[in-house]
């Protein structure tokens, strides 16, 4: 079917030319003016029909939600609100929409309601914008790495390892749950399972990305990851997309530089390529925040906030320095933190991260050199440092305003003996990870990488407060609809 996309008609304004447009009716006024949207952009195209010429039969079918096509000439609009419009000489109805039964209605619907109708929410202005911006960010991620000579590596979705060592995995099996085969000593007999061993959905592509990096130099993954953690928050999904670059001959500082450059690059890309969608989302956010108390509103409008990230260096400090700031902070002294900061070694909660980013520094923060005990086994052990009470690792978390942790990464432990000791201490099975250890046995080198939670990035750029509203079909405890 030959058609011109509405985005093209609205940007090129081919006055005098005939076009064929197709889309869904967003409004129909005075039996004459159709607001048509085909998803190619935020704006609607005004299609003007002649009621006499069309006839009752067709007119009565032009309704909110109906799919139609129109053929006509592009002319300058006489009315307000649009520069051009299409004078339809022919209208085709592709799909009727019965408003009595249609879950969407031509009025403001809550995000909660739309989440329950996620199969149709793409058709709203807000979600149209969110998913176009999401696409632009994904594209920008690939462009960023491609320009720098990274190779896109597809790591497995089904794995036999737990990359984070946190045990939050979804089991993958074809064994019959109602009649599980057992070994003589009563254990589940995984030898009879599809892969002949226990397997799960991956929590991270990092370990495989490390294998790639130690040969290809610079690689990244961008794929779905799965976490069976029972977190019902606005920042957690059970299925989310993660971008994980891994770089050979790189240390923690290189890693922080790469992450900062990448975040700035993709944010700049969105500002440049999605101005209308971001404007729409900015207005939506202002509207949403009107009812909130002043201290819960964003300090900057959406686009200014994105611009701020692009234009300013991120604050870098160590965990140990952050603990000092937090210890002496007014909320800690006044007992306002739910988890008071008393000692070095405590894991940071989101209230602490938010204090650092939103109150103390008021900009993105890169926190480094966390206590070894609260981080994953693969992170590189730091040399002891004066003034630091315990062993630390070359870890880094990037904290964003309104989001908290958006990136987690580290320089990797490349020394075989140190890594083996760490794995023993943390009960990470050595034999299962022999392949990972082989990179340390043969031609090991300093290397580093990180993971960026793609949905948290989309949240930051779109200003959507719930992570369930930036992925098409969110998976979270108790929900796998659609
Ligand atoms: O900090 P995480 O767990 O780090 C890793 O998985 C490393 N293997 C990454 C690496 O070094 N290659 O996760 C990385 C990021 C977090 O900072 C967060 O943005 C996101 O992934 N993330 C989640 N996003 C949505 N829902 C969840 N349940 C998430 N868990 C982590
Ligand atoms: Mg993390």
Best probe residue, ligand 1, of 226, 240, 408 (max atoms within 8 Å of C-beta): 408
DSSP string, 75-121: EE-SSSS-SEEEEEEEEEEEE---TTT-S--SS---HHHHHHTTTTG
Q: What distance in angstroms lies between residue 209's CA and the mean position of ligand 1's atoms?
A: 15
Q: How far is CA 472 from the centre of its chain?
A: 11
Residue nearest to atom 25 of ligand 1 (CA): 236
Q: Please tell me the predicted confidence (pLDDT) of residue 282.
A: 98
- Same domain? For 353 and 436 the reply is yes
State how far the Cα of 29 lies from the Cα of 50, in Å rounded to an integer.
12
- Same domain? For 161 and 182 the reply is no
Instruction: Give me the CATH number covering residue 27.
Output: 2.40.50.140
Q: Please tell me the predicted confidence (pLDDT) of residue 234.
A: 95
Q: 3-state DSSP call for residue 246? A: strand
Best probe residue, ligand 1, of 241, 243, 448, 456 (max atoms within 8 Å of C-beta): 456
Question: Nearest ligand, CA of residue 374?
Answer: 2
Helix/strand number for the chain, H first, E second: 15, 16
Q: 3-state DSSP call for residue 231? A: coil
Q: How far is CA 74 from the centre of its chain?
A: 38
- Same domain? For 69 and 190 the reply is no
Nearest-Å Rg of the Cα atoms of the chain is 27
| HSE-up of residue 43 (Cα within 13 Å, Cβ side) | 19
The residues near 216 (Cβ < 8 Å, ≥ 6 apart) are: 151, 153
| Residue 332 covered by a domain | yes
Sheet holding 199-201, edge to edge: 158-159, 199-201, 171-172
- Ligand 1 nearest atom to the CA of residue 405, by list position: 17
Question: Nearest ligand, CA of residue 238?
Answer: 1
State how far the Cα of 315 lies from the Cα of 256, in Å rounded to an integer.
11
Please report, in tens digits, the pLDDT of each residue of the chain (482 residues total). 999 999 999 999 999 999 999 999 999 999 999 999 999 999 999 999 999 999 999 999 999 999 999 999 999 999 888 999 999 999 999 999 999 999 999 999 999 999 999 999 999 999 999 999 999 999 999 999 999 999 999 999 999 988 887 879 999 999 999 999 999 999 999 999 999 999 999 999 999 999 999 999 999 999 999 999 998 999 999 999 999 999 999 999 999 999 999 999 999 999 999 999 999 999 999 999 999 998 888 889 999 999 999 999 999 999 999 999 999 999 999 999 999 999 999 999 999 999 999 999 999 999 999 999 999 999 999 999 999 999 999 999 999 999 999 999 999 999 999 999 999 999 999 999 999 999 999 999 999 999 999 999 999 999 999 999 999 999 999 999 99
Instruction: Give me the CATH number covering residue 149.
Output: 3.30.930.10
DSSP string, 55-72: -HHHHTT--TT-EEEEEE
| Residue 234 covered by a domain | yes
State how far the Cα of 21 lies from the Cα of 87, in Å rounded to an integer.
11
Residue nearest to atom 15 of ligand 1 (CA): 453
Q: What distance in angstroms lies between residue 189's CA and the mean position of ligand 1's atoms?
A: 32
CB distance 209 to 246 below 8 Å:
yes
- Same domain? For 417 and 317 the reply is yes
- Ligand 1 nearest atom to the CA of residue 397, by list position: 17
State how far the Cα of 203 lies from the Cα of 190, in Å rounded to an integer.
21
Q: Please tell me the predicted confidence (pLDDT) of residue 167.
A: 78
What single DSSP character describes residue 469?
G
Q: Please tell me the predicted confidence (pLDDT) of residue 471.
A: 98
Q: What distance in angstroms lies between residue 19's CA and the mean position of ligand 1's atoms?
A: 47
Tell me how long the chain is: 482
- Ligand 1 nearest atom to the CA of residue 237, by list position: 26
Question: Nearest ligand, CA of residue 399?
Answer: 1
The encoded tokens of residue 207 equal: 């370990």
The residues near 166 (Cβ < 8 Å, ≥ 6 apart) are: 203, 376
Cβ of 417: how many Cβ atoms within 10 Å?
9
- Ligand 1 nearest atom to the CA of residue 451, by list position: 9
- Ligand 1 nearest atom to the CA of residue 245, by list position: 12
What lines the ligand 1 site, CB under 6 Å? 163-164, 204, 206, 227, 236-237, 240, 242, 244, 405-409, 449-451, 453, 455-456
Between helix 125-147 and helix 275-290 the angle, nearest 10°, is 130
Residue nearest to atom 4 of ligand 1 (CA): 408
| Residue 43 covered by a domain | yes
Q: Please tell me the predicted confidence (pLDDT) of residue 59.
A: 95
CB distance 181 to 189 below 8 Å:
yes
* Ion ligand 2: residues, Cβ under 5 Å: 408
CA separation, residue 326 to residues 78, 340, 364, 395, 445 (Å) = 60, 9, 16, 19, 36
Q: What distance in angstroms lies between residue 445's CA and the mean position of ligand 1's atoms?
A: 24
| Residue 474 covered by a domain | no
Residue nearest to atom 22 of ligand 1 (CA): 453
| Residue 480 covered by a domain | no
Cβ of 415: how many Cβ atoms within 10 Å?
15
- Ligand 1 nearest atom to the CA of residue 209, by list position: 12
- Same domain? For 137 and 61 the reply is no
- Same domain? For 242 and 98 the reply is no
State how far the Cα of 287 lies from the Cα of 281, in Å rounded to an integer.
10
Question: Nearest ligand, CA of residue 451?
Answer: 1
CB distance 62 to 93 below 8 Å:
yes
- Same domain? For 141 and 186 the reply is no
- Same domain? For 298 and 316 the reply is yes
Q: What distance in angstroms lies between residue 405's CA and the mean position of ligand 2's atoms?
A: 7
Q: Would residue 61 be called left, alpha or beta, if left means φ above 0 and alpha means ψ between -120 and 50 degrees?
A: alpha
What stretches of 274-384 show up as alpha helix (H) in DSSP? 275-290, 302-311, 319-327, 330-333, 350-354
Q: Please tell me the predicted confidence (pLDDT) of residue 385.
A: 94
Q: What distance in angstroms lies between residue 350's CA and the mean position of ligand 1's atoms?
A: 14
| Residue 256 covered by a domain | yes
Q: What distance in angstroms lies between residue 140's CA and the mean position of ligand 1's atoms?
A: 20
State how far the Cα of 215 lies from the Cα of 125, in Å rounded to an integer.
46
| HSE-up of residue 250 (Cα within 13 Å, Cβ side) | 26
- Ligand 1 nearest atom to the CA of residue 231, by list position: 28
- Phi/psi for 195 (5° steps) reads -95, 0
- Phi/psi for 412 (5° steps) reads -95, 155
- Same domain? For 182 and 214 the reply is no
Residue nearest to atom 5 of ligand 1 (CA): 451
| Residue 481 covered by a domain | no
- Same domain? For 292 and 414 the reply is yes
The encoded tokens of residue 77 equal: 């609009």
- Same domain? For 36 and 69 the reply is yes
Give the range of the structural domain holding residue 46, as residue numbers without chain letter: 6-102
State how far the Cα of 96 lies from the Cα of 18, in Å rounded to an integer.
25
- Ligand 1 nearest atom to the CA of residue 236, by list position: 26
Question: Nearest ligand, CA of residue 161?
Answer: 1
Q: Please tell me the predicted confidence (pLDDT) of residue 101.
A: 97
CA separation, residue 87 to residues 39, 75, 392 (Å) = 21, 7, 69
Q: Please tell me the predicted confidence (pLDDT) of residue 298.
A: 87
Q: What distance in angstroms lies between residue 197's CA and the mean position of ligand 2's atoms?
A: 28
What single DSSP character describes residue 168?
-
Residue 298: its H or E element = none
- Same domain? For 407 and 351 the reply is yes
Domain count, the chain: 3
Q: What distance in angstroms lies between residue 450's CA and the mean position of ligand 1's atoms?
A: 9
Q: Please tell me the predicted confidence (pLDDT) of residue 254.
A: 98
Residue 418: its H or E element = helix 416-425
| Residue 406 covered by a domain | yes
């Amino acid at each position: 079917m030959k058609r011109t996309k509405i985005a093209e008609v609205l940007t090129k304004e081919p006055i005098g030319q005939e076009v064929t447009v197709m889309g869904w009716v967003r409004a129909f006024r005075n039996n004459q003016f159709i607001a048509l949207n085909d998803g190619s952009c935020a704006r609607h195209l005004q299609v003007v029909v002649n009621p006499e010429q069309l006839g009752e039969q067709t007119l009565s079918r032009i309704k909110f939600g109906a799919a139609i096509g129109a053929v006509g000439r592009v002319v300058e609009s006489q009315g307000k609100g649009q520069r051009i419009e299409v004078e339809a000489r022919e209208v085709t109805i592709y799909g009727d929409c019965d408003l009595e039964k249609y879950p969407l209605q031509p009025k403001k619907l809550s995000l909660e309601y739309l989440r329950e109708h996620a199969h149709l929410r793409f058709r709203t202005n807000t979600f149209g914008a969110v998913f176009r911006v999401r696409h632009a960010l994904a594209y920008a991620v690939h462009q960023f790495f491609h320009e720098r000579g990274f190779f896109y590596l597809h790591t497995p979705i089904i794995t036999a390892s737990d990359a984070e060592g946190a045990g939050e995995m979804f089991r993958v099996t074809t064994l019959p749950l109602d009649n599980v085969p057992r070994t003589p000593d009563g254990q589940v007999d995984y030898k009879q399972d599809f892969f002949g061993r226990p397997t799960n959905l991956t929590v991270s592509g990092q370990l495989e990305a490390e294998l790639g990096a130690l040969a290809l130099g610079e690689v990244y993954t961008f794929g779905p990851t799965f976490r069976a953690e029972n977190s019902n928050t606005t920042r957690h999904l059970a299925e989310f997309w993660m971008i994980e670059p891994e770089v050979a001959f790189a240390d923690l500082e290189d890693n922080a530089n790469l992450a900062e450059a990448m975040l700035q690059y993709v944010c700049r890309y969105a500002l440049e390529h999605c101005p209308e969608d971001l404007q729409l989302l900015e207005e939506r956010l202002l509207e949403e925040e009107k009812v909130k108390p002043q201290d819960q509103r964003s300090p900057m409008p959406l686009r200014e906030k994105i611009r701020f990230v692009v234009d300013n260096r991120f604050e870098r400090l160590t965990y140990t320095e952050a603990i000092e700031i937090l210890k002496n902070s007014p909320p800690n002294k006044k007992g306002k933190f739910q988890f008071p900061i008393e000692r070095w070694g405590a894991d940071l909660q989101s209230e602490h991260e938010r204090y650092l980013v939103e109150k103390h520094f008021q900009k993105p923060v890169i926190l480094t050199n966390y206590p070894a005990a609260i981080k994953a086994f693969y992170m590189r052990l730091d040399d002891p440092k004066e003034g630091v009470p315990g062993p630390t690792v070359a870890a880094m978390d990037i904290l964003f305003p309104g989001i908290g942790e958006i990136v987690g990464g580290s320089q990797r432990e490349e020394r075989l003996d140190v890594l083996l000791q760490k794995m023993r201490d943390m009960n990470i099975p050595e034999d299962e990870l022999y392949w990972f250890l082989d990179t340390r046995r043969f031609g090991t080198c300093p290397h580093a990488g990180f993971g960026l939670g793609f949905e948290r990035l989309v949240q930051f750029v779109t200003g959507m407060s719930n992570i369930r509203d930036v992925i098409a079909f969110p998976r979270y405890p108790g929900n796998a609809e659609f």
